[in-house]
Amino acid sequence: MSAQKLPAPMARPALVAEDPQIAALVEAEEARQREKIRLIPSENYVSRAVLEATGTVLTNKYSEGYAGKRYYEGQQIIDQVETIAIDRAKSLFGVDHANVQPYSGSPANLAVYLAFLNPGDKVMGMALPSGGHLTHGWGVSATGKWFTPVRYGVRAETGRVDMDEVREIALAERPKLIFCGGTAIPRTIDFEAFASIAAEIDAVLVADIAHIAGLVAGGAHPTPVGHAAVISTTTHKTLRGPRGAMLMSTEEHAAALDKAVFPGLQGGPHNHTTAAIAVALREAAAPEFKDYAAKIVSNAATLAGALTERGFDLVSGGTDNHLILIDLTNKGIAGKPMAKALDRAGLVVNYNTVPDDPRKPFDPSGIRIGTPAVTTRGMGTAEMTAIAGWFDRVVTAANSGDEADLDQIGKEVKELTAGFPVPA
């Protein structure tokens, strides 16, 4: 708290002196993150400790290779940092093996392809418009261009994955790799069902838990451990660490994954990030993180209920996790203008496709929201109810071009956020 009372430039005297232009922008972004209600489900606020770890001299060190087997000297300290991060990941998730070097979620997934497939081999993943990720074989991604993608989606009527359909496609196409998980899935992922399908065709199952890693770590979503041979995750979403990623696996696949990350795909690991990942993993192992994960889910349920009461049409009818997908068709507004109006009103979301969306991906029918960031700030039931009320007003204001009310909501949002300090 005492650090928070310092005027922001005082915290970065060298940056302010050296590059006032960038320093001012950083300060402006701090204000934006403080004054707005951030509902993008892949975003969060890291702790002061995580932030401090990322801003260290560990960024000065090259350390290609792995602890004890490096290509550069001077690894006395870095080897310890990386080993601690790995041990904490193994203990938190209960896995045999962890690689903490992937630069981010997308390169982590590319390393999985490199470990198990040859160019042209078949990979099965959820279609992007249904909630899958680009790196699960979508056409514009290298993973869709260099490999042969096979896709499953969600049933339009239920908004949910139909596991019988997944099995049918898998048996007919026999992909070597199956991805489960995604970026816009409001429901629990059935890792066990995916695992039994993968076993039938001898495919490697990859659980991409980028979005839900913090929920899994905190016991608020079932774990893929014991079902998926490979687990891929980012570290910066619900897990609340720095931007980065991890690959975890059974002992069987450890060597192949390590070799794929380095030297297969990457050069030197980002050691300052590794340190911050270690800090975040320590935080995620603390008892309070279980409460955090549970609160993310209960806040999302409260918000979903309040939105439903106000006539918003939620894909799949609600949520099991941190994420809510809203089909705005019945509100007479598309996703993009709604997202823009909400931003003006101080509520930050992203527009998103909905299942079987009749509109174009760049101008879709829905928006995607989530509760990880607001929960980190300590918001609860009253605030979720207020957010649903503001959503309703924003629809009316946007549909009637009432910019004054959008600005008025922005003021009310700013007042509310003043009562919920941001961690860093």
Ligand X SMILES: *Cc1c(COP(=O)(O)O)cnc(C)c1O
Nearest approach, Cβ of residue 44 and ligand X (Å): 12
Nearest approach, Cβ of residue 230 and ligand X (Å): 13
Nearest approach, Cβ of residue 244 and ligand X (Å): 8
CB atoms within 10 A of CB 188: 14
Catalytic positions, please?
A: 62, 64, 208, 234, 237, 243
Q: Nearer Cβ to ligand X, position 104 or 298?
A: 104
Greatest Cα pair distance, the chain, in angstroms, is 65
Stated as kind and residue range, the H or E segment containing 277 is: helix 271-285
Amino acid present at 417: T
Dihedral sign for Cα 167, 159, 359, 143, please.
negative
Q: How far apart are CA 160 and CA 251, in angstroms?
A: 32
Nearest approach, Cβ of residue 109 and ligand X (Å): 6
Residue number closest to ligand X, CB atom: 105
Amino acid present at 291: D
Q: How far apart are CA 243 and CA 237, in angstroms?
A: 8
231 and 249 Cβ atoms separated by less than 8 Å: yes
CB atoms within 10 A of CB 87: 13
Nearest approach, Cβ of residue 189 and ligand X (Å): 10
23 and 31 Cβ atoms separated by less than 8 Å: no
Q: Nearer Cβ to ligand X, position 15 or 51?
A: 51
Q: Nearer Cβ to ligand X, position 182 or 335?
A: 182
In the numeric block, the tokens 């993993």 are attached to 281
Distances (CA, A) of 217 to 40, 236, 337: 20, 13, 36
Q: Nearer Cβ to ligand X, position 159 or 241?
A: 241
Amino acid present at 144: G
321 and 187 Cβ atoms separated by less than 8 Å: yes
Secondary structure (H, E, C), 391-404: HHHHHHHHHHCCHH
Q: Nearer Cβ to ligand X, position 151 or 331?
A: 151
Question: Which residues, listed in sequence order, are joined to residue 179 by a DSSP beta bridge?
Answer: 206
- Which residues here bind ligand X, judged by CB under 6 A? 42, 104-106, 109, 133, 135, 181-183, 208, 210-211, 234
Nearest approach, Cβ of residue 276 and ligand X (Å): 14
Q: Nearer Cβ to ligand X, position 183 or 299?
A: 183
Q: Nearer Cβ to ligand X, position 208 or 327?
A: 208
Tell me the two tokens of residue 35: 């004054």
Strands (E), 162-229: 177-180, 204-208
Nearest approach, Cβ of residue 111 and ligand X (Å): 12
